[in-house]
Amino acid sequence: MNVHEAITNHTRKQNAHLERFLELENEREAAIEEAIALCIAGEPFSVDAINAATDRINLHARNGISPTRVHVTMDMVREAARKKLK
């Protein structure tokens, strides 16, 4: 394999890694928005789906260049809901 092919393959691999990160990030953000909406509505909510997506993001990040994310607590969701109401 020549240098050009190696660089192209490396670039494709990084691009695929980042595309998968964006998919996981969108999944996490949707779970966050759902939890916030439930909290605002006074309904019971959970951070389980958020943190499951976070775990998948952090596992994925071990194999590439994408960032990691922190786990979300119930208090973090409540605070975000309060800010949205302002």
Each residue's pLDDT, cut to its tens digit, for the chain (86 residues) gives 688 788 888 889 899 999 999 999 999 999 999 999 999 999 999 999 999 999 999 999 999 899 999 999 999 999 999 999 98
Classified as helix, coil or strand, 20 is helix
Angle at 22 between CA 36 and CA 63, to 5 degrees: 120
Q: Which of 12, 25, 26, 17 is nearest to 62 (CA)?
A: 17
Task: Show me where the domains of the chain are located.
Answer: 3-85
Q: Which residues contact 86 (CB under 8 A, 6 or more apart)?
A: none
Is there a contact between 51 and 73 (Cβ–Cβ < 8 Å)? no
